[in-house]
A = this chain, B = another copy of it.
Amino acid sequence: MTLSRHTMPSNPADARELFRQGAWTERSTGICVGYTNANLCIVPKELAYDFLLFCQRNPKPCPVLEVLDTGDPIVRQLAEGADIRTDLPRYRVFIDGEPVDEPTDISKYWRDDLVTFLFGCSSTFEGALEAAGIAPRWRQGAATGSGIFATNIQTVPAGRLHGPMVVSMRPIPARQVPRAVQVTSRFPNHHGAPVHIGDPTVIGIENLSKGEWVDSPSLSPGDVPVFWACGVTPQTVAQASKPELMITHYPGHMFIGDIPSEQQAAL
């Protein structure tokens, strides 16, 4: 059977199994909606303090959910026993700030000094948006998920790390924008309320139809583009700061944990 987004399993463990086998290497958006999604960043221990401090100073793009012990690739809290080296659909590997590989398995890059950070993802609140009556039209068409854009918003530097913030964009009908703010405010560990609503040029985005890493959803008449801080931010930070090694998920290709999203809500 050919896998399609609509026939993918709704259980996170089964979905991760398919990611692990390399049977699904496309965007994870729209798969297992209603479960905790996480962004990934792996750095050498030597850089781990700077990175954790960067997250503390930039909680909107980088709200930390779980940090694995040095050298340990096995997730404990978000999905007991998941292997961070294989259980995502696709990764990116940065060496000296350059993206050098986009593998579906990072086992060959693993080292005993690597520290894995998992942090919140706006895909976690997609089920809550739907439940509140906001149709996920951004998942229709080629995009299959939110748009992802670098901005001119600078993060707060920490140690050797600095760079611009990345945002996700969802087209929301104007009358539903306040509701979208309310719903996503309940998920502060998954980027929370939007960072910007409306005119994309204010935050340095010139062309909304052209996402850098993934296809971008189109706006319908009456839609307002709404922008949330995004966990792809460490990837632009890698390019700006040029650490020796950083491994991340590929944008839109997230880790899916076993915890229902509502258990991650603040209220």
User: Which A residues form the contact surface with B (CB < 8 A)?
Assistant: 48-49, 52-53, 56-57, 64, 67, 185, 188, 266-267
CA distance A52 to B67 in the complex (A): 11
Q: Cβ of A188: which chain B residues have Cβ within 8 Å of it?
A: 188, 266
Knowing that A52-B52, A267-B267 touch, tell me 15 more A-B residue pairs with CB under 8 angstroms.
Answer: A48-B49, A49-B49, A49-B52, A52-B53, A52-B56, A53-B67, A56-B56, A56-B64, A56-B67, A57-B67, A185-B266, A185-B267, A188-B188, A188-B266, A266-B266
- A/B interface sample: 17 pairs, CB < 8 A: A48-B49, A49-B49, A49-B52, A52-B52, A52-B53, A52-B56, A53-B67, A56-B56, A56-B64, A56-B67, A57-B67, A185-B266, A185-B267, A188-B188, A188-B266, A266-B266, A267-B267
Q: Distance in Å from the Cβ of A38 to the closest Cβ of chain B?
A: 14
Across the interface, name the chain B residue whose C-beta is closest to A182: B267
CA distance A267 to B188 in the complex (A): 11
CA distance A52 to B56 in the complex (A): 9
CA distance A266 to B182 in the complex (A): 12
Across the interface, name the chain B residue whose C-beta is closest to A57: B67
CA distance A108 to B209 in the complex (A): 59
CA distance A162 to B266 in the complex (A): 26
Q: Cβ of A64: which chain B residues have Cβ within 8 Å of it?
A: 56
CA distance A185 to B52 in the complex (A): 25
Max count, chain B CB within 10 A of own CB: residue among A49, A64, A267:
A49
CA distance A173 to B56 in the complex (A): 36
Q: Distance in Å from the Cβ of A44 to the closest Cβ of chain B?
A: 12
Q: Cβ of A266: which chain B residues have Cβ within 8 Å of it?
A: 185, 188, 266
